[in-house]
Amino acid sequence: MIQPNDQMHAQPAPGSHEEPVGGGSVPTGVRGDLKKDAPLAKLVWFKSGGAADWLFEPADLEDLTTFLSGLEPGTPVMALGLGSNLIIRDGGVPGVVVRLGKPFSSVEVKREHVVECGGGAPGILVASKARDAGIAGMEFLRGIPGTVGGFVRMNGGAYGREVADILVDCDVVMPDGNCVTIPVSDLDYSYRHSRLTEGAIVVAARFKGEPGDPEAIGAEMDRIAEERENSQPLRTKTGGSTFKNPEGRKAWQLVDEAGCRGLSMGGAQVSEKHTNFLINKDEATSSDIEGLGEEVRRRVAEKTGVALEWEIKRVGRP
């Protein structure tokens, strides 16, 4: 079992409107919704895992920046979108989990085929707004089960395109509360990776497409939706694609070759419909799910010599 990453612990600091978190403190004088020991399982696709020390849903950008600037330096901060592509470990998440809700989910069409999106906007909404405005090139976002903040951070992609192809720039709130605008050229995008600082939160992004016919765009989005429905276990408790595709190979094929289709551990199972998906079949713990993923990696390495890399992010205490 992979151990969690080294976790930072804040130092204690007294102050008004503050309560301890992971050895430090958190400002409680906010306008948004702040909860202590907040269960996260219902907020993630796998429906498993522990609680956040603190869960914060800011009322707006100012509320977020003020809150973060008041945190004890070193307090862990993590953004949470729709909860896909994520394993919350059973021991919960230290520090603060920030969930961008409705105030961050706007999508507006600008000039020159640019779409400006809040970090909490789901991919399907961005693609639909672009379609209605006759903007092509964003259809693939229909196939990414997440929010703008998540797929900007990880250079999300599907069906031959990725965020790096359409991103102009993004607004990012750093862990200290400072808000900066970062052009796509400064993100050093590679396959499912960017250079964004850990704990930085993408609060807005601008994508640029090209002129297109709304009917043709809609037809392509329908094709993507149908293909996903037919090939992926969308109606189960899953987290999306589990492993990155190695260069020149398909992760699902390697998993299949290693004889892992249908393999189970506790309540977790490798999907029989698409072997690069793990599913919570029977009240699986996050330990079941992550442990199964590690067993798949071991078997694939033993069978094929390929070391699969996790695409799903795993966070928190074991």
Return per-residue pLDDT of the chain as tens, 318 residues.
222 333 333 332 222 344 555 545 789 899 999 999 999 999 999 999 999 999 999 999 999 999 999 999 999 999 999 999 999 999 999 999 999 999 999 999 999 999 999 999 999 999 999 999 999 999 999 998 899 999 999 999 988 899 999 999 999 999 999 999 999 999 999 988 999 998 999 999 999 999 999 999 999 999 999 999 999 998 999 999 999 999 999 999 999 999 999 999 999 999 999 999 999 999 999 999 999 999 999 999 999 999 999 999 999 999
264 is catalytic: no
Distances (CA, A) of 45 to 177, 235, 280: 28, 10, 9
Return the bridge partners of 136, or none: 210
311 is catalytic: yes
CA distance 130 to 108: 9
Q: Which of 84, 128, 194, 241 is catalytic?
A: 241
E strand map for the chain: 18-21, 24-27, 33-39, 51-57, 77-80, 86-88, 93-99, 107-109, 114-118, 135-136, 157-158, 161-162, 167-173, 179-183, 201-208, 210-211, 264-265, 268-270, 278-280, 313-315
Return the bridge partners of 117, or none: 107, 205
Predicted pLDDT of residue 138? 97
192 is catalytic: yes
Predicted pLDDT of residue 22? 52
- 265: tokens are 């551990």
Predicted pLDDT of residue 25? 79
Predicted pLDDT of residue 24? 57
Q: Which of 142, 192, 299, 314 is catalytic?
A: 192
- 233: tokens are 């276990």
Alpha helices by DSSP H, listed for 17-132, are 61-69, 123-132
Nearest residue to 181 (alpha-carbon basis) of 192, 193, 189, 173? 173
